[in-house]
Structure 1
Amino acid sequence: MRASYPVHMDAAQNTTTKSVPPKDRPDVTARNFRAVPTALTSRHWVRQDPYATAFFNALSAVFPHGETFMIRSLVPWTERVPQPLRGEVEAFIEQEAGHSREHVAMNKALIGAGYDIAPLDRKIRAFVSVFEGASDIIKLTATMCIEHFTAIIAAELLKNPQHLSGVEDEMLELWLWHAVEEVEHKGVAFDVWKHATAQWSSPRRYMLRSVFMLAVTTSFFINRTLGQIELLRQDGVGFSTAFKNVMKSGFGKGGIGRNVLRPWSEFFRVGYHPWDTDDRQLLAKGEADLATIAANRAGYRKGSAIPAPTRQAA
């Protein structure tokens, strides 16, 4: 089934930089989602474009261990933070557990499609192993920085549907669901970190989060790039060609990497908080798109006529 969700550009354009007070932020809620087992229908499932596909496949390959690391980093704080933050941490953990589960399933499908994702798995295991024996604060700081990455990439996917245009609804649903929940809980790890470091001086807090963000950024860029190149090597693409096209796909005009540079840099602003950017309309857009996909699927199950948007996209 080809993607048929509506493009609500008004919602995307109305994303603002006016800080959202805690009482107005969306509830963090783990949705009861299970991906369609046959969602992966082709090796290059993003418009038959190996480079666009490699980006998402490389992310999926590292999500299970990455999400597990973040869960383990937040668990010790569930009893150390007050309500309502404690409830948000518990919901965060439940959401991330669901993401890990569904990307384990997607990764099995990638292996079934002929990819060897073991090299990418080793990279994320090596990253996580760096924090073995580290303090709870250090693990939490790393998680806060990783969450900034996942949130800005998720927001970009919701804001600009062209990144997943032409993707079949079953796979599109997985990534939209994941994106919605990442944006929804984008402030949780940050708020826990603020609570954990409340007695620190402002310069100390700023220095720690800035240094960690630079380190996480370096690791993310190098390892996700190498992950894409490895998957493309398995497609028969040479290193130089793969590197050139990965850079072009990610950082050329309209590329995800290029588009998230500005929101990435916001992290270094003194006094920054993830909800300084009001993504509530973006979340509403994502929920509406997911509802459209679910309605289309329900229509097929009932044997009804193909909805007009799907008929046009087919």
Structure 2
Amino acid sequence: MTETKSTPDDLNVQPRDIRFAMEDARAGHWLGGDPVGTAVFNALSLTFPDGERLFMDAVKNYRHKLSGKLLEDAKGFIAQEAIHSREHHQLNSLIDRERYPVAEIEALVRGRVKMARERGKMAMLVSTIALEHFTAMMAEMHARHRDLFDGAPAGVEQLWRWHAMEETEHKAVAYDVFQEVTKDWSPRRRYFIRCRAMFFVTIMFTRNISRYAARLLEADGYAPKAALKAVKRFVWGDPGIFRRGWKTYLAWYRPGFHPWDQDDREQFADWKAEFDAAVA
């Protein structure tokens, strides 16, 4: 049960400081007029600023133990996540706070992040590696199903593509940090810890996003049960953002797993070229 693999040597985690024009999202149901899809992605976006600060700090906690390429990758990861947090904060600021329970959802997110921090540095890192795998899975699904943001304003559509591409680029950084700082652990112990983390993250993340999105839909006039049913249809049915990447998700439970067992850089190559050019 060896776990000695790492990120490819020829991959550089490069922050791209891009500001997206998202003012058109202020109109409301920005995902092609679909209230359900808009609610789901707004719910996701509302978790990102505080959640990604947790990810940054989880890696920063162990930065003194890193060196060489992993240290450089960690710096790139932190910079990428900081920019993601900033841009999603901007998108979140465009949600009508008088109509939607944004403050309520943000308070719930802050409470959950606070609980994660209080569990200690290793718990923060383990939660991060599990959530990073989950977001990489959704990014892969986005790249395979490129109609996901059809009907969204150009700036918002670009934001989600850029985020997906960079999530894939840095998908193994926190995992490599985990492997480095637990190198004296037995592979069996590492395997147990990361599988347990993924089990709980899967339950909590999917449940919380669904509940946050349902609360947003209730502000659009949906009854509570109808709102939750509509959200579950979107995330598990069509388009199934939590379902379509199940093979990538299940790979996590394979002994000896590493995120770069699946090298999907080619799938994101055109998006990477686009956003590299944008900051050139």
* Fold shared, TM-score > 0.5 on shorter chain: yes
Q: CA deviation at 1:149?
A: 1.2
Which of 193, 198, 211 lines up with 1:208 in the alignment? 193
* 8 Å Cα contact 1:176-1:290 kept in structure 2: no
**Map 1:55-204 → 2, pairs under 5 A:** 55-111=40-96, 114-204=99-189
SS in 2 for 1:256: coil
Counterpart in the other structure of 1:306: none
CA distance in 2, matches of 1:132, 1:188: 19
Deviation of residue 114 (structure 1)? 3.6
Q: Please tell me the residue identity of whatever aligns with 2:92.
A: N
Match of 1:50 in 2: 35
CA apart distance, 1:22: 1.9
Is residue 22 of structure 1 aligned with residue 4 of structure 2? no
1:223 corresponds to which residue? 208
**How far does residue 113 in structure 1 lie from its aligned partner after superposition?**
7.8
Question: The residue matched to 2:31 in structure 1 has which SS?
Answer: coil
Counterpart code for 2:62: W
Give the aligned partner of residue 217 of structure 2. 232
Which amino acid counterpart does residue 23 of structure 1 have in structure 2?
D
CA distance in 1, matches of 2:99, 2:269: 37
String of CA shifts for 1:223-259, please: whole Å, max 9, x gaps: 1110010000011111121122112112115421220
Counterpart for residue 229 of structure 2 = 244
Q: State the Cα distance separating 1:123 from its structure 2 match.
A: 2.1
Residue 122 (structure 1) shift: 2.0
2:144 aligned partner, one-letter code: K
Hey, what's the Cα distance between the residues in 1 that align with 2:251 and 2:123?
21
Deviations 1:30-73 (A, max 9, x none): 00200115141421111111111111100111110001111111
Task: Measure, in 1, the Cα distance between the counterparts of 2:276 and 2:117.
Answer: 41
| 3-state DSSP of counterpart to 1:258 | coil
Q: How far apart are the structure 2 equivalents of 1:262 and 1:62?
A: 25
Contact 1:20 1:277 in 2 (8 A): no
Kept after mapping to 2: 8 A contact 1:115/1:234: yes
- 1:30-49 equivalences in 2 (<5 Å): 30-49=15-34
* TM-score in terms of structure 2 length: 0.92
Deviations 1:115-139 (A, max 9, x none): 2312221221121122334332221
Per-residue CA distance 1:83-142 (angstroms, 9 max, x = gap): 110000011000000011111111110136842312221221121122334332221111
Aligned equivalents of 1:38, 1:83: Cα separation in 2: 41
On the 8 A contact 1:137/1:196 being kept in 2, the answer is no
Q: Number of residues paired by the alignment? A: 274
Q: Which has the larger radius of gyration?
A: 1
| Closer, same or farther: CA 28–129 of 1 in aligned 2, 3 Å | same
User: 1:285: Cα distance to partner?
Assistant: 2.8
CA 1:117–1:181 in structure 2 vs 1: closer, same or farther (change >3 Å)?
same
8 Å contact from structure 1 (residues 250, 258) kept in 2:
yes
Paired with 2:7 and 2:120, the residues of 1 have a C-alpha distance of 30
Q: Which runs of 5+ in 2 are unaligned?
A: none
CA distance 1:192–1:40, change in 2 (3 Å): same
Alpha carbons 2:142, 2:148 under 8 Å: kept = yes
TM value normalised by structure 1: 0.82
Q: Distance in 2 between matches of 1:276 and 1:291?
A: 25
Larger mean CA deviation between 69-78 and 124-133 belongs to 124-133
The residue identity in structure 2 corresponding to 1:203 is R
RMSD: 2.0
Distance in 1 separating the partners of 2:98 and 2:249: 33
1:244-285 deviation line (CA, Å, top 9, x unaligned) = 211211211542122022211111111111111111112213
Take 2:8 and 2:70, find their aligned partners in 1: how far apart are those partners?
10
Q: Distance in 2 between matches of 1:116 and 1:157?
A: 27
- Letter of the 2:41 partner, please give it: F
